[in-house]
């Protein structure tokens, strides 16, 4: 089905040249879970001593692999670990069968790689409500193990795609006191197709040495300012999963005070988050919404998300219409504090509205020129306090309707 | 612009034959506020002794006429009253100029009809951020006064339309101990067009005799189960206004215990609310979402609105796709209590999912048959408690994108 959807006009020119992370090996294979003629299972093996942290969907109807990961993620272990992911079937809302299928995959992977089962994390993405044909995955574990290769991360990024229109990768290198460490991450999301459901899966690897609890706290804090600040259509998957593994192979220790590393990791996470938005269903515009002057950071985020999720604003952007009135509307409805007469609204550098009315110097052509860009910055100052937030989204186009209503499985 | 949008396929066959409400007279006129060749101002005059109650948008960026109404609505008075409404310009986000324009219209109306200015309520709907040319309205007040006629309610319903594709009216008659009372209501909403903003305006009239505070409480309570239970696209106007006037001309007293009257009024409000949904931008399906078994009524409403506002569900309905997985997704993300394994989902009478998985007897053709209907009932039982809610929405189609992105003003 993915082939029917043209590549996003916002896609990067090429997949980045990701560095090898010592201590991680990848393999992919065509297991025929649902798709034909493409690789649909990826295995990542993590060397002994690797720590793993994870952040997951807050959905109350979480899929079985997510529940399984959440049980395992807090456990300490000195042994190796693995991540096994299939595309084509989300193993979500599959009742007790879902739990059994997840266990079948993770226990077989553990046996094949000589790992403790609690150290095998799995994800599934694709159609929901259908039983995962787990035997098709487990039948390939021998071949997957034999194919493990430190350089195969791009293939891994491709194997986890569902209706994504491009594979997503990002990297960073940090020079620290103890030496040089590398970060490489891959993601999938968020094309979708009836009756599939968008799922964001992200896997990040580093050769830094990071205690599990430190890695977990770092990942959680950075998720709040990266992946939790993007929205395509306000809908939340049952399966969203972000896993990060630190192999320690570089021997360089990272702590909660390693600001250079944290900043580099934030950059990798933000890059992947932006790529997910740029592959949003039907997206033709990438929109950054920056809110300042709110009564609190939480209020700023509420306003920013109200703007980012407003169908009226997203369709106006699709139509290249500098419709600042709809921004006023979204702020008014968000529920967070606002004073109409203190609002300032900018499209790019163009001052559009201030003091409760359109700016006297504003001309519609100025706003229209900003709207013609592929990347559109919208800034709002509430004039109330010091709260700020930045979120990213895409426009709402006929492409979204076509992908989600017209394409039938 | 409205002419470009085809009449909703969900429109009723004809405007209902609304009864004359003694004590109310209507007039409409072409004032050229923005539209050409159509009536765009309506005046309703209410006889002395009429009580007026109102419910308004909760937006924090409310338009000037809304703020003005809210100041006046709590005041008692034995004199007459009036409602004056223009379409074509919302007088919203127009700064101090907006307040002055509202005052100009209401004070001139008061002078023309010999009323206290605090008894003149106004609404404006249409383009926002542009100054209301209030002199075009006030210049017509003499003509409007001369044209006042008890039978002109249908013309009133047409004059307040913006990009509505049909005028909306509803009625009821109640036989009570003291005699017979009548209710007639009109509404506009919620077509929209760049750079306009959808606004719902509703005016309901009765010849019952109802104390102001009783009428206000009744209207507020019934709004929660009617107009506050509909959603087209989750966006909230700066100008939503519901005004109800009781002229008392029938001499029949209605109190908070008049269950027959309250039920009839609820019917009129629900009828108008459904008509607003049926004129939702691009709507081709009318959807009723009924949630039971929630931990509380509030939780049930949260789940129902999460389903009703989900772009993925609304596009699936547009595509006649019985995509129950997206219903599971919306329940999971809503934030209210849910247990995946206790969920029951029905499309129409078809049991789709239960016990955390698709129902063993369900066949896709059954769900697909329900989706082909023009009116689609979706029921969800949470299996947790006694909380219930019912909300109404429409599908999300290419028509919505066309109206809001492609049509440029």
Spatial strand order in the sheet of A201-206: A51-56, A241-246, A201-206, A179-188, A168-176
Mean pLDDT of the region A383-409: 83
Instruction: For residue range A153-200, list pLDDT tens digits in order.
Output: 999 999 999 878 889 999 999 998 889 999 999 988 864 432 334 567
B26 and B149 in contact (C-beta within 8 Å)? yes
A263 shares its domain with A297 = no
B241 shares its domain with B314 = no
Instruction: For residue range B81-136, list pLDDT tens digits in order.
Output: 999 999 999 898 888 889 999 999 999 999 999 999 999 999 998 887 889 999 99
B393: β partners: B231, B287
Q: Which residues of A304-331 are buried (b: 16+ CB within 10 A; e: fewer)?
A: bbbbbbbbbbbbbbbbbbbbbbbbbbbb
Full domain range(s) for residue A247: 2-278
Which residues of B fall within a CB distance of 8 Å from A93?
325, 328, 340, 353, 356-358
B80 shares its domain with B30 = yes
pLDDT at B197 over 60: no
Task: Classify B25 as helix, strand or coil.
Answer: strand
B273 shares its domain with B303 = no
Q: What is the pLDDT of residue A334?
A: 85
Between B61, B332, B400, which is nearest A59 by CB?
Answer: B332
Label residue A4 by pLDDT band (50, 70, 90): low
Our count of domains for chain A comes to 2
Q: How far is B352 from chain A (nearest CA, A)?
A: 11
Strands A81-89 and A120-127, by their bridges, are: parallel
A183 shares its domain with A314 = no
pLDDT at B289 over 60: yes
B266 shares its domain with B361 = no
- What separation, in Å, do the N-terminal and C-terminal C-alpha atoms of chain B show? 8
Cα–Cα distance between A148 and A152 in angstroms, integer? 8
Residue in chain A nearest B63 by alpha carbon:
A340
What lies within 8 Å, CB to CB, of A156 at 6+ separation is: A26, A28, A42, A44, A186, A203
Q: What is the pLDDT of residue B279?
A: 84
Q: Which of A148-157, A220-229, B195-204, B280-289 has the lowest mean pLDDT?
A: B195-204
Residue finishing a domain among A258, A278, A298? A278
Q: What is the pLDDT of residue A295?
A: 96
pLDDT at A236 over 80: no
Phi and psi angles of residue A379, each rounded to the nearest 5 degrees, phi first: -120, 140
ipTM of the complex model: 0.76
CATH code for the domain in which residue B146 is found:
3.60.70.12
B126 shares its domain with B148 = yes
Higher per-residue confidence, A165 vs B384:
B384
Residue finishing a domain among B231, B247, B278? B278
A96 shares its domain with A195 = yes
Residue finishing a domain among B278, B296, B325? B278
Cα–Cα distance between B301 and B294 in angstroms, integer? 9
Q: What is the pLDDT of residue B234?
A: 64
A259 shares its domain with A348 = no
With CB atoms and an 8 Å threshold, state whether A309 touches B353: no
pLDDT at A237 over 70: no
- Asked if A339 is an interface residue toward chain B (Cβ–Cβ < 8 A), one would say yes
Window B:78-107, CB contacts with A under 8 Å: 92-97
Cα–Cα distance between A296 and A293 in angstroms, integer? 8
Q: What is the pLDDT of residue B235?
A: 65
Residue in chain B nearest A311 by alpha carbon:
B233
Pick out the residues of the known binding site of B for substrate: 162, 188, 199, 281, 404, 409
Q: What is the pLDDT of residue B194?
A: 28
B303 shares its domain with B402 = yes
A271 shares its domain with A298 = no
Cα–Cα distance between B321 and B309 in angstroms, integer? 17
pLDDT averaged over chain B? 88
B interface test, pick of A93, A98, A239 with most B CB neighbours within 10 Å: A93
Q: Measuring CA to CA, which residue among B105, B127, B201 is closest to residue B161?
A: B201
CB-CB neighbours of A74 under 10 Å: 11
Instruction: For residue range A40-74, list pLDDT tens digits in order.
Output: 999 999 999 899 998 887 777 788 998 999 999 98
Active site residue B199: yes
With CB atoms and an 8 Å threshold, state whether A325 touches B195: yes
Which residues of B fall within a CB distance of 8 Å from A234?
234, 309-311
Q: What is the pLDDT of residue A92?
A: 86
B156 shares its domain with B134 = yes
CATH code for the domain in which residue B334 is found:
3.10.20.340
Q: Measuring CA to CA, which residue among A185, A190, A167 is closest to residue A236?
A: A190
Label residue B4 by pLDDT band (50, 70, 90): low
Q: What is the pLDDT of residue A76?
A: 75
Measured in whole angstroms, the distance separating CA B268 from the mean position of its chain's CA atoms is 11
Between B329, B338, B396, which is nearest A401 by CB?
Answer: B396
Q: In what helix (H) or strand (E) does residue B72 lie, and over which residues does it extend? A: helix B64-72
With CB atoms and an 8 Å threshold, state whether B96 touches A356: yes
């Amino acid at each position: 089905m993915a082939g029917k959807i043209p590549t996003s006009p916002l896609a990067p020119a090429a997949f980045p040249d990701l560095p090898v992370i010592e201590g991680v090996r990848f393999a992919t294979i065509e297991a025929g879970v649902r798709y034909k003629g493409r690789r649909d299972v990826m295995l990542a093996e993590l060397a002994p001593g690797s720590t793993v942290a994870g952040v997951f969907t807050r959905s109350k109807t979480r899929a079985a692999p997510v529940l399984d990961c959440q049980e395992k993620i807090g456990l300490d272990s000195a042994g190796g670990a693995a991540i096994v992911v299939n595309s084509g079937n989300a193993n979500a809302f599959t009742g007790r069968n879902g739990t059994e299928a997840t266990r079948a995959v993770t226990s077989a992977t553990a046996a094949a790689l000589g790992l403790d089962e609690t150290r095998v994390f799995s994800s599934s993405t694709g159609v929901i409500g259908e039983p995962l044909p787990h035997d098709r995955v487990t039948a390939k574990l021998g071949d997957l193990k034999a194919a493990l290769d430190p350089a195969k991360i791009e293939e891994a990024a491709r194997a986890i795609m569902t209706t994504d229109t491009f594979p997503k990768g990002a990297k960073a290198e940090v020079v620290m006191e103890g030496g040089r460490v590398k970060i490489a991450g891959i993601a999938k999301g968020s094309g979708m197709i009836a009756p599939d459901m968008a799922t964001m899966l992200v896997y990040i690897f580093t050769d830094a040495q990071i205690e599990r609890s430190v890695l977990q706290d770092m990942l959680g804090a950075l998720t709040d300012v990266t992946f939790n600040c993007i929205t395509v259509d306000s809908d939340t998957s049952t399966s969203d999963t972000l896993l990060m593994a630190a192999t320690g192979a570089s021997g360089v220790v990272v702590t909660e005070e390693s600001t250079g590393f944290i900043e580099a990791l934030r950059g990798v996470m933000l890059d992947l988050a932006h790529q997910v938005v740029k592959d949003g269903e039907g997206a033709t515009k990438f929109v950054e919404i920056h809110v300042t002057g709110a009564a609190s950071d939480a209020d700023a985020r509420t306003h920013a998300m109200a703007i980012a999720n407003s169908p009226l604003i997203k369709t106006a952007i699709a139509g290249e219409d500098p419709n600042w009135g709809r921004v006023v509307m979204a702020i008014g409805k968000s529920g967070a504090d606002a004073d109409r007469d203190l609002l300032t609204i900018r499209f790019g550098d163009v001052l559009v509205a201030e003091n409760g009315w359109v700016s006297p110097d504003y001309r519609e052509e100025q706003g229209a020129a900003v709207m013609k860009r592929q990347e559109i910055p919208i800034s709002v100052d509430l004039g109330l306090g010091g709260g700020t937030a930045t979120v990213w989204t895409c426009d709402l186009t006929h492409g979204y309707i076509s992908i989600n209503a017209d394409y039938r499985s």
